[in-house]
A and B are shown apart, each in its own frame.
Chain A
Amino acid sequence: MAASPIVDKQFLERLERLTLRWRKSFPGSIGGHQVARLKGAGQEFLDHRQFSQGDDLRSVNWRAYMRLEKLFLKVFQMEPHVPIRMLVDVSGSMALGAPSKLAYMQRLAAALCYVGVVRLETIQVVPFSSELHEDFVAAGGRHRFAPVAGFLGSLQASGRSEARVVIRQFANRFLQRGLLIVISDFFDEADVIAEWQSLALLGHELCLIHLAAEEDRNPPWQGLLDVVDAETGETRQLHFDDEARSRYEEAFDAFYRDFERMALRNEGRYVFVNTAMPLEDVLFGALGHMQGAPA
């Protein structure tokens, strides 16, 4: 594998013992690596049932017929090929933080892509800000990782975040249900939890990775401030004291808890990631232990 500018080789070698998993059973063409609870063509025996008119004679258990003179049909579990999509936020707010949320997102997305391509999964990386940008498909084994790493490394943070538009475009463009990993700070001018929930209602399994810089949760300032929105440029003059800080933290905590609640209610998963955390801790810790075991 070619050296990647955003993740090093030793780190990638550690990722090879991880696997992307999902909880829902999705229909799809055969050829996947994860057994679904749906019946269909597959290798894993599931059950017998009475033969009915029109069933495939190739699935009849002829040994049971010889002994009991009744037709029983063998039922197998499906192993569908499930599409994995990764929505990555490249709006202007992702440029903030130290390290920036964008840089952190690039490394995290690259690591998840590597986990997927090593297991011969197909991952579609879709950047978004005010709309969906051109996507990139990563598939075909570890030797195909370098292109997606280069694609992720080339992303720049700019523009406003318009989740409503993005979600509508996504629902229209990607009709087949599958695993949807969203890496974003989820900052939007409007309240868009319902829109994100609509994707779960459409059948996608949501895996929300909520990125936040240290200053997003704990603003390091106090006193009189001119606060400028990184995406809109809007400025507010205010006085930030301990009382205001407390109210800010309450509002922020309520914000991410709403997302967490929505994801879990819809059989999805949610993890809050502070960009001050080492990426390894996130991949082998927070992501592995979150409800629903995303990785």
Chain B
Amino acid sequence: MELLNLTLLQLLGAAAGVSAIVVALYFLDRRRRRVTVSSLRFWRDSRMERHPLPQRRIQQPWSLLLVLLGLLALLGALADIRWNVNTFRSLDHVLVLDTSSWMQAREDGVPLMDRAKRLAVRYVRSLPPGDRVLLVMSDANPVPAAAFEEDFGVVEAAIAGAVPGNTALQLGEALGFARQMLEDRDDPGDIVFVGSRWIAEEEIPAITRELPNLRVIPVDAKWRNVYIDKVTLQPRERDAGGWTAHVSVGNRGPAAEVPVQVLFGSAPVTATTLRVPSDAVVTVPLEFRTGAAGWVDVRLDVADMVRRDNVARVEVPRTGGVHVQVCTKTPARFASLFRANPAWIPSYRAESPCPLSADAEVIVLDAVLPATATNRPTLWIQPPADSPFSSRPAELGRRRVSWNAASPISDGLQTSELALDRGSYLTAAEGDQVVAEADGSAIAIARPGNPPQVAWGFQPLLAEMRFEVSTPLLFANTFRWLASSTSVPEELSVGSAGSVLIAGLDGREEEAPVVLDEAGAPVPVSKSTDGWRFFAGRGGVYQMRQGHRERIVSLTLPQPPHSFWEPDPAQMMAGIPAASGAEPPMRWWPWLALFGLLCLVADALLFDRRGQGEAARPVTNPLAAMGAAVRQLFRKEARSRHGL
């Protein structure tokens, strides 16, 4: 019996309190009734007034009895009173069901998840009636699927809906959550784990030894699984269209010869065979070429327990180079610059105004105007008078250029590396970023927007400036900023969901990287001892940026576990006991609630006439009153009581 965690004594006290209040109300509120009559001439009998007033008399004992019975019955219903409750002690259990990535495994065609579900259902059915079960589905995160539920049908339905996730089991978090859930319960029972015991932690969590009520129902299997641990694609330098795929293959089983294939658009482009020892990870580089964008599949040609970790897929962008249209009267100045970088494919036009080519992705206007307004990323070199940038000529006299360190265009440039003889001062508009200044005036401006534009008030390919090492870097930074959407990321990789370490970006630890998911929404990142990390609960493609560096990671592989948990033999359940077969204590609360409501409704019908603003009518006993009430309800034509 429980009501708001009250003991039986406290509950009886509450019932007594309620009864006392009701009786007091009957003494006080119902003691004297105010009624309105047509005339007082028949109420002036002095004997009515001489009658001793019963100060402490309850006027409507039947009404009081009905109200008390109703309230006590409702209180009992709330308290969930049960008979024979002393022979049963209901316990609260937490059932942790392993829904980690490796529960996708199949043995002899049967999914381990189905075996785990059957074991969990058997365990639930073995519990005595009245016990409550909290079902927790756990992979990297424990998620409660059914609160402490007494109806085992609900728990079984929740078990039936369990599906394996994409991350490995964080056993410490799952057991910690279960312990926390039991801490507040009056009758804590067992924490029962059902699963394969492959966990994400490298070391077995200490909590497994701290829980005396931990029971383990293992889902055993003879493990034989080869899996792709990681795939990294890197474009080869100075080889447009060339890629290197670093494939890491792991093995949880006997040593095996593993054929590895790389496919582009479902067509094999390279293949090899690896020998992977037991419990080891082997990495092999595989090279292939493609200039087109498309899907690259890395496939292990093996038949093992987990199929989903045998294929990794990543989308590669087009790598055929960026088309740059250079409008200049002196194309020879640019030839050596573009020849040094095969990723930039130039085309030259000498007309002024310069007609724009339809396939040009970046426009360079060297002191000329375009024939039509440019709608692509544009670099203006010494912009003419009618350009969007206003300028005025200046004699610089080999003044040093001061670069803005916050601008990505000036990344890596030093002030001492560039001195200018002549050029133009530019006027920065609202929203413009000043990239470089000379003598306090802007000589290079970046204008973000669509399309982005950059203006230089000088020509770096003139005179001795072209010999400076900083000039190609300035072009490279500018083109990367202008055509960031067309640039090739430095690395593409395929990994597994879960906690992901962000590595290989800028290396500036103080600056938090930006991680975006497939929908472009930012993903929270946190700093750990080994670097920045983010958590990917579900698979997908994530974009990571830090500074001007960018990486694409496709987290579509199931997260492989790191270690196998061997519990204390005392914690292992040798077998699931049969169902107790005991009858649960009878539940009285629905009948008590119904009875209580009926009592209150009967009191309202028989004794309350508030609709007429009058007091209760006299009733000698409830049965007669009920009969009268029913007659009144169905009477269509009332008759005079004295029939004149």
Question: Hey, which bits of chain A sit against chain B, CB under 8 A?
Answer: 93, 96, 98, 101, 185, 187-189, 213-232, 234, 236-241, 243-244, 247-248, 251-253, 255, 271-274, 276-278, 281, 286
Chain B residues with Cβ below 8 Å from A217 are 641-642
Chain A residues with Cβ below 8 Å from B640 are 274, 276-277
Q: Complex Cα distance A9/B33, Å?
A: 42
**Inter-subunit contact B40/A236 (CB<8 Å):** yes
Residues of B in contact (CB 8 Å), total 37
Q: Complex Cα distance A281/B53, Å?
A: 43
Residue of A nearest to B57 (CB): A223
**Inter-subunit contact B639/A239 (CB<8 Å):** no
Given that A224-B53, A277-B640, A278-B637 are known contacts, is A187 also in contact with B31, CB under 8 Å in the complex? no
Q: Complex Cα distance A229/B641, Å?
A: 23
Q: Complex Cα distance A221/B612, Å?
A: 13
Report which of A230, A237, A253, A273 forms a contact with B38, defined as CB distance below 8 A. Answer: A230
**Inter-subunit contact A227/B51 (CB<8 Å):** no
**Inter-subunit contact A187/B38 (CB<8 Å):** yes
**Inter-subunit contact A223/B33 (CB<8 Å):** yes
**Inter-subunit contact A213/B49 (CB<8 Å):** no
List of 3 A-B pairs having minimum Cβ-Cβ separation, nearest first: A274-B640, A187-B39, A93-B38
Ordered by A's residue number, 29 sampled pairs between the chains whose C-beta atoms are within 8 Å are: A93-B39, A96-B36, A96-B38, A216-B37, A218-B641, A219-B35, A220-B618, A221-B33, A221-B35, A223-B32, A223-B59, A225-B34, A225-B35, A227-B35, A229-B37, A230-B37, A231-B38, A236-B40, A237-B49, A239-B48, A240-B48, A244-B45, A244-B47, A251-B45, A272-B644, A273-B644, A274-B640, A277-B638, A277-B639
Chain A residues with Cβ below 8 Å from B59 are 222-224
Residue of B nearest to A222 (CB): B618
Encode contact with A along B623-636: 1 for CB under 8 Å, 0 otherwise: 00000000000000
List the count of A-B residue pairs having beta carbons below 8 Å apart.
133
Given that A189-B41, A238-B49, A251-B45 are known contacts, is A276 also in contact with B644, CB under 8 Å in the complex? no
**Inter-subunit contact B43/A227 (CB<8 Å):** yes
How far, in Å, is A255 (CB) from chain B's closest CB? 7
Chain A residues with Cβ below 8 Å from B47 are 243-244, 247
How far, in Å, is A250 (CB) from chain B's closest CB? 9
Chain B residues with Cβ below 8 Å from A218 are 641
Encode contact with A along B557-597: 1 for CB under 8 Å, 0 otherwise: 00000000000000000000000000000000000000000
How far, in Å, is B59 (CB) from chain A's closest CB? 4
**Inter-subunit contact B32/A221 (CB<8 Å):** no
**Inter-subunit contact A216/B41 (CB<8 Å):** no
How far, in Å, is A252 (CB) from chain B's closest CB? 5
Report which of B39, B45, B51 forms a contact with A231, defined as CB distance below 8 A. Answer: B39
Q: Complex Cα distance A238/B51, Å?
A: 8
Q: Complex Cα distance A13/B562, Å?
A: 98
Interface flag for B54 (CB, 8 Å) = yes
Residue of A nearest to B42 (CB): A251
Q: Complex Cα distance A218/B53, Å?
A: 22
Chain A residues with Cβ below 8 Å from B37 are 96, 215-216, 219, 227-230
Interface flag for B615 (CB, 8 Å) = yes
Q: Complex Cα distance A229/B39, Å?
A: 5
Report which of B38, B44, B51, B642 forms a contact with A239, defined as CB distance below 8 A. Answer: B51
Given contacts A238-B43, A238-B48, 6 further A-B contacts (CB under 8 A): A187-B38, A221-B618, A224-B31, A224-B33, A247-B48, A277-B638
Q: DSSP class of B's interface residues: helix, strand, loop or mixed?
A: loop
**Inter-subunit contact A252/B38 (CB<8 Å):** no
Q: Complex Cα distance A252/B618, Å?
A: 20
Residue of B nearest to A233 (CB): B36
Chain B residues with Cβ below 8 Å from A278 are 637
Within 8 A of A (CB), among B503-558: none
Report which of A96, A219, A234, A252 forms a contact with B40, defined as CB distance below 8 A. Answer: A234
**Inter-subunit contact A187/B41 (CB<8 Å):** yes
**Inter-subunit contact B32/A98 (CB<8 Å):** no
Chain B residues with Cβ below 8 Å from A185 are 38-39
How far, in Å, is A91 (CB) from chain B's closest CB? 9
**Inter-subunit contact A274/B42 (CB<8 Å):** no
Chain B residues with Cβ below 8 Å from A187 are 38-39, 41
Given that A221-B615, A239-B48, A274-B640 are known contacts, is A230 also in contact with B32, CB under 8 Å in the complex? no
Q: Complex Cα distance A278/B637, Å?
A: 6
Residue of B nearest to A213 (CB): B38
Q: Complex Cα distance A154/B32, Å?
A: 36
**Inter-subunit contact A248/B36 (CB<8 Å):** no
How far, in Å, is B154 (CB) from chain A's closest CB? 52
How far, in Å, is A237 (CB) from chain B's closest CB? 7
Scoring B34, B38, B43, B617 by chain A CB atoms within 10 A of each residue's CB, the highest score goes to: B38
Encode contact with A along B590-621: 1 for CB under 8 Å, 0 otherwise: 00000000000000000001001011111000
Q: Complex Cα distance A53/B54, Å?
A: 85
Given that A221-B617, A247-B47 are known contacts, is A286 also in contact with B644, CB under 8 Å in the complex? yes
Q: Complex Cα distance A254/B531, Å?
A: 106
**Inter-subunit contact B51/A244 (CB<8 Å):** yes
Given that A222-B59, A238-B48, A276-B638 are known contacts, is A216 also in contact with B38, CB under 8 Å in the complex? yes
Q: Complex Cα distance A235/B379, Å?
A: 101
Q: Complex Cα distance A49/B180, Å?
A: 124
Residue of B nearest to A253 (CB): B642
**Inter-subunit contact A252/B35 (CB<8 Å):** no
How far, in Å, is A274 (CB) from chain B's closest CB? 4
**Inter-subunit contact A226/B35 (CB<8 Å):** yes
**Inter-subunit contact B54/A229 (CB<8 Å):** no
Q: Complex Cα distance A218/B640, Å?
A: 10
Chain A residues with Cβ below 8 Å from B618 are 220-223
Report which of B33, B38, B45, B52 forms a contact with A226, defined as CB distance below 8 A. Answer: B33
Report which of A224, A226, A243, A252 forms a contact with B42, defined as CB distance below 8 A. Answer: A252
Residue of B nearest to A231 (CB): B39
Scoring A101, A224, A240, A286 by chain B CB atoms within 10 A of each residue's CB, the highest score goes to: A224
Within 8 A of A (CB), among B7-49: 31-45, 47-49
Q: Complex Cα distance A224/B40, Å?
A: 16
**Inter-subunit contact A221/B614 (CB<8 Å):** yes
Chain A residues with Cβ below 8 Å from B31 are 224
**Inter-subunit contact B33/A225 (CB<8 Å):** yes
**Inter-subunit contact A236/B615 (CB<8 Å):** no
Chain B residues with Cβ below 8 Å from A231 are 38-39
**Inter-subunit contact A224/B54 (CB<8 Å):** yes
Residue of B nearest to A238 (CB): B48
Q: Complex Cα distance A271/B644, Å?
A: 8
**Inter-subunit contact A220/B39 (CB<8 Å):** no
Chain B residues with Cβ below 8 Å from A238 are 43, 48-49, 51
**Inter-subunit contact A228/B34 (CB<8 Å):** yes
Q: Complex Cα distance A96/B637, Å?
A: 19
Chain A residues with Cβ below 8 Å from B36 are 96, 227-230
Chain A residues with Cβ below 8 Å from B35 are 219, 221, 225-228
Q: Complex Cα distance A237/B51, Å?
A: 11
Encode contact with A along B381-421: 1 for CB under 8 Å, 0 otherwise: 00000000000000000000000000000000000000000
Scoring A239, A244, A255 by chain B CB atoms within 10 A of each residue's CB, the highest score goes to: A239
How far, in Å, is A89 (CB) from chain B's closest CB? 11
Q: Complex Cα distance A231/B609, Å?
A: 22
How far, in Å, is A288 (CB) from chain B's closest CB? 14
**Inter-subunit contact A237/B32 (CB<8 Å):** yes
Chain B residues with Cβ below 8 Å from A271 are 644
How far, in Å, is B519 (CB) from chain A's closest CB? 68
How far, in Å, is B625 (CB) from chain A's closest CB? 12
Q: Complex Cα distance A187/B36, Å?
A: 14
Chain A residues with Cβ below 8 Å from B612 are 98
Chain A residues with Cβ below 8 Å from B53 are 224, 239
Chain B residues with Cβ below 8 Å from A240 are 48
Q: Complex Cα distance A243/B37, Å?
A: 19
How far, in Å, is B610 (CB) from chain A's closest CB? 14
**Inter-subunit contact A236/B43 (CB<8 Å):** yes
Q: Complex Cα distance A214/B617, Å?
A: 13
Chain B residues with Cβ below 8 Å from A226 are 32-35
